[in-house]
Amino acid sequence: MDASNGRNHLENQGIFLNWISNADIRYGGGQVVVDGSSQSITPLQMVDARPTVLSSSITRSADAAMSATPNSFRETNFHSPIQQGNPATPFTVDYSRVGPDLHLNRITNNSINGLQVRVQTAVPNQLEKLTVQGRFDDIDVVHFLPENLEIQGTPGGAILAQDPPSTTNVRLAVQTGGTLPIGLYTYRFTTINAQGVESLGSEATTSVFASGTTRTVVVSNIPSNASRIYRSGPNGQGPYTLIGELSSAVGAFIDTGTSLGQTLSENFASVRTRLDARLVIDAGTVVKSRARIDVSMGAQLIAEGTAGNPVVFTSLNDIRYGAGGTFDTANRGGGQTAVAGDWGGIYVGHTSSASLDHVVVAFGGGTTRVQGGFSDFGAIEAHQADLRVAHSRLEFNDSGAGTSTAADRGGRGSNAEGTIFVRGAQPILVDNIIANNVGPAISIDVSSLNSSSVEDYGRSTGRLGPVADKVGNQGPLVSKNRIDNNGINGMVVRGGNLTTEGVWDDTGIVHVVQDQIVVPDFQHYGGLRLLSASDQSLVIKLDGAQAGFTATGQPLDNADRIGGSIQVVGTPHHPVILTSLHDDSVGAGFTIAGSQQVDTNNNGDATSPTAGNWSGILLETYSNDRNVVLTQERESPLLGAPASNNTPGQSQFLGSLAPNEKAGNENLRLGFQLSGVLSAPSDLDVYSFRADAGTEVWLDIDRTNNSLDTVIELVDANGRTLALSDSSLLEERDP
């Protein structure tokens, strides 16, 4: 059905006539010549169609039992302009349609016992893409991906509205009959695109005069791209009233004087937004693959299951999961078992988003096709994207790197070994099991561990269910994950130059460094902070002659140049630990069994730490040596934790302040930089320091949430307020 010009389509009216019920279909999947080309046709093949298939049996087919093109999974609620039809009379419906309606079907003994998502190749290297709001909701059948499924985004800003039809060749003539009031009439046309958006009105046609008994107007030579026709008032001018819907097959329209009541809008926006595609996968759906899912720029993937019904992404040969009467989707009788790397993974591209909650990702990390070659992909990759993975299980995946024919993988960027690979993103990775994978559990670049405030915002469907046990996290949120038997049981931080302000505060996982991390001059943001929590140590394990931290600086001609800085800040009884990767005496996080994860390199006692396993921390000549101490609030950020610094008697002591900028030493500081959290509206934090009488003190609060309304009080040891500031701007005008 051609929907490019708003043509009539029964689906837009909620009418779905394709229906199969209680059928017994056998021995299908043969070759058929279509347009001179031999094609394999599945017993039930859906091309951008949404039929109903109920209580049927499909067996002994030479191909997949069913197949559907990506856009066959369109989700419709019938509220968009294309379904509403005449916007002058909007309505709210109580029904919807989600792709094909497949229930209670028995699918066995076929070459593929499932629903194949058939991605067609129109021209070389140009795959068919999902371009609509799609959804997999048929949990009674396995969804099989033999080819890469790309969820298409539409990057860029608004685009110019569709050009209106031309009226140059339109002809008007009067004839007898009709009920048009006597007067002079002109006509205008509009075009409706596939999304139901109406274009600007065309220029008015030439005029025609209706009078006496000739009060019917015949409009001929109508352009083929016209969708609606509007008539002027009896004076030949606006407002123009809708009088008919047009078909491209008919180039004429007879106006007898009736109308549809809608008036042509003259305030039409000259630009329209771009619509991105989206794929939602319902709880309990099993997706088996030999390829990968690409979430391209601006698109969205939502796969959210439940504790009892996870969404499963796995290999075609994985017989642990199935639907439709069998777990043997490949119909091999168990002759071929699933292995790591059987399929690619989930690639979340730039500016796109993905939410994975209660999912299983197994046997991924393999090689798939890209433009002009083949490349490896991690089980989950996020490149400058918004990613949330929670309550999920990632297991038996390959490393996702090593055999790519092109380093940039067809414009998708390079990658490295890792079950979850991150570049330029701050993902939320909470309460997952990452086990039995070939590569490291997580691989992330050093600049992704930045100072941005990131908290778990929860699911995209159903109840939010955020893992919100604490506040104040900076950079990626990596918490409560159980990691076991991976290539590296930790988070590998890839080396390089730090290009932002770096903060390492995820104490629930070991940070592994195998390259040099360089902290250059301060540029608006800068420096690297390694922070322990109030109740947990930050553990960093390093390995290699170049593994370590280097703060550099360049002697420029500006007086306020700030060199690179590295600040290692522990808390009492919980120091920041930097040790060898082979040191199994310390660790972070837990295994599946609940024991502490200390075997980060996953080799048991095969190797022991020795002096010189890693480089060290190098502060070069022109690095930052400012005598300002960085302090972390010692009160726990856990929600509901008891207050420990809410009174003057329990205040957190910062240190002694130097009387001037030239009097600083190892005991007298030039200032204090405090990183703290207000975990609740009632939270009150009190800090103390020593200073000589008359010392000038500046207090600055910044990098806070825009909803925070702070009050600063200067109190003595007895709690009496000596000075108070509620709004520094107002107080500056009127002290």
- Strands 52-54 and 101-103, how do they pair? parallel
What pTM does this model have? 0.89
CB atoms within 10 A of CB 711: 9
Sorting pLDDT into bands at 50, 70 and 90, what band is 82?
A: low
Point out the least confidently predicted range of 263-272, 365-374, 386-395: 263-272
Assess whether pLDDT exceeds 90 at residue 122: no
Beta bridge partners of 302: 280, 355
Most confident stretch, 402-411, 536-545, 671-680: 536-545
Q: What is the pLDDT of residue 2?
A: 47
Return the minimum-mean-pLDDT range out of 211-215, 217-221, 391-395, 563-567: 211-215
Strand runs (DSSP E) across 274-322, as ranges? 278-281, 286-289, 293-295, 300-304, 311-315
Is the pLDDT reported for residue 313 higher than 80? yes
Domain extents in the chain: 1-118, 157-273, 631-733
In the predicted structure, residue 84 carries a pLDDT above the cut 70? no
Return the residue matching tokens 């067609």: 120
d(CA 495, CA 517): 5
Work out the average pLDDT over 596-619: 95
Residue 11: DSSP 8-state: G
In the chain, % of residues over pLDDT 90: 65
- The region of weakest confidence among 6-10, 557-561, 695-699 is 6-10
pLDDT (0 to 100) of residue 12: 73
Q: What is the mean pLDDT of residues 124-147?
A: 92
Tell me the average pLDDT across 133-156: 94
Could you tell me the sign of the dihedral formed by the alpha carbons of 360, 366, 367, 370, in that order?
positive
Cα–Cα distances (Å) from 401 to 357, 411, 418, 444, in that order, read 25, 16, 8, 14
Write down the pLDDT at residue 267: 75
Our CA angle for 688, 691, 694, nearest 5°, is 125
In sequence order, the β-bridge partners of residue 630 are 673
Whole-angstrom distance, CA of residue 119 vs CA of residue 37: 17
Lowest mean pLDDT among 275-289, 370-384, 638-652: 638-652
Q: What b-and-e string marks burial along 462-497, b requiring 16 or more CB atoms within 10 Å of the CB?
A: eeeeebeebbbbbbbbbbbbbbbebbbbbbbbbbee
pLDDT of residue 1: 43
Edge-to-edge strand list for the sheet holding 149-151: 149-151, 293-295, 346-348, 380-383, 420-423, 440-445, 488-494, 511-513, 539-542, 577-580
**pLDDT score for 85:** 62
DSSP letter for each residue of 346-406: EEE-TT-EEEEESEEEES---EEEETTEEEE--SEEEESSEEEEES-EEES---S-S--SS
* CA angle 348–384–361, rounded 5-degree value: 30
Confidence band (pLDDT; 50, 70, 90) for 83? low
Tokens, residue 683: 């939270």
Write out pLDDT tens, residues 681-720.
888 889 999 999 999 998 888 888 777 888 888 888 888 8
What are the residues whose beta carbons fall under 8 Å from the beta carbon of 559, sequence distance 6 or more?
A: none
Q: Is the pLDDT of residue 366 over 90?
A: yes
Name the band, by pLDDT with cuts 50, 70 and 90, for residue 89: low
- Residue 87's SS3 state is coil
Work out the widest C-alpha separation in the chain, in whole angstroms.
108
Kindly report, residue by residue over 627-642, the tens digit of the pLDDT.
899 888 888 877 667 7
- Closest to 268 in 3D by CA, of 228, 211, 310: 228
Separation of alpha carbons 210 and 350, rounded Å: 60
Task: State both tokens at 599.
Answer: 């075997």
Tokens of 70: 């990506």
Encode burial over 515-532: b for 16+ CB neighbours within 10 A, e otherwise.
Answer: bbbbbbbbeeebbbbbbb
DSSP symbols for 672-712: EEEE----STT----EEEE--TT--------S--TT----E
Beta strand pairing call for 373-376 and 367-370: antiparallel
Cα 611 to the chain's mean position, in Å?
Answer: 43
Q: What is the DSSP letter of 72?
A: G
Predicted confidence (pLDDT) at residue 513 exceeds the cutoff of 70:
yes
Q: What is the pLDDT of residues 447-457, one digit of tens each?
A: 999 999 999 99
What integer is the mean pLDDT of 67-85?
Answer: 83
Query: Would you say 393 and 369 are in contact if contact means Cβ atoms under 8 Å apart?
Result: no
pLDDT band at 180 (very low <50, low <70, confident <90, very high): very high
Q: How far is the C-alpha of 164 from the C-alpha of 204, rounded, in Å?
A: 11
**550 Cβ contact partners less than 8 Å away, ≥ 6 residues apart:** 516, 517, 518, 519, 564, 617, 618, 620
Residue 6 has pLDDT above 60, yes or no: no
Residue 123 has pLDDT above 70, yes or no: no
- Mean pLDDT over all residues of the chain? 90
Residues 6+ apart with CB under 8 A from 38: 31, 32
Give the neighbor-by-neighbor strand order of the sheet with 64-68: 44-46, 64-68, 112-117, 143-145, 286-289, 311-315, 359-362, 393-395, 433-435, 482-484
Burial of 510 (0-12, 13-18, 19+ CB in 10 A): buried
* Distance from C-alpha of 703 to C-alpha of 614, rounded to nearest angstrom: 35
CB neighbours of 59 closer than 8 A, spacing ≥ 6? Answer: 25, 26, 106, 107, 108, 109, 110
Q: What pLDDT score does 407 carry?
A: 80
| Dihedral over alpha carbons 163, 164, 165, 169 (to 10 degrees) | -100
pLDDT digits over 419-462, tens only? 999 999 999 999 999 999 999 999 999 999 999 999 999 999 99
CA distance 238 to 241: 8
Indicate the pLDDT class of residue 87, thresholds 50, 70 and 90.
low
Kindly report, residue by residue over 27-50, the tens digit of the pLDDT: 999 888 887 888 889 999 999 999
Residue 179's pLDDT is 92
**Cβ pair 238, 268 in contact under 8 A:** no
The alpha carbon of 253 is separated from its chain's Cα centroid by a whole number of angstroms, namely 48
Residue 7 has pLDDT above 70, yes or no: no
Is the CB of residue 419 less than 8 Å from the CB of residue 394? yes
| Strand ranges across the sheet with 496-497 | 496-497, 516-519, 544-551, 614-619
B/e letters for 538-564, b = 16+ CB within 10 Å, e = fewer, are bbbbbbeeebbbbbbbeeeeeeeeebb
Q: Is the pLDDT of residue 326 over 80?
A: yes
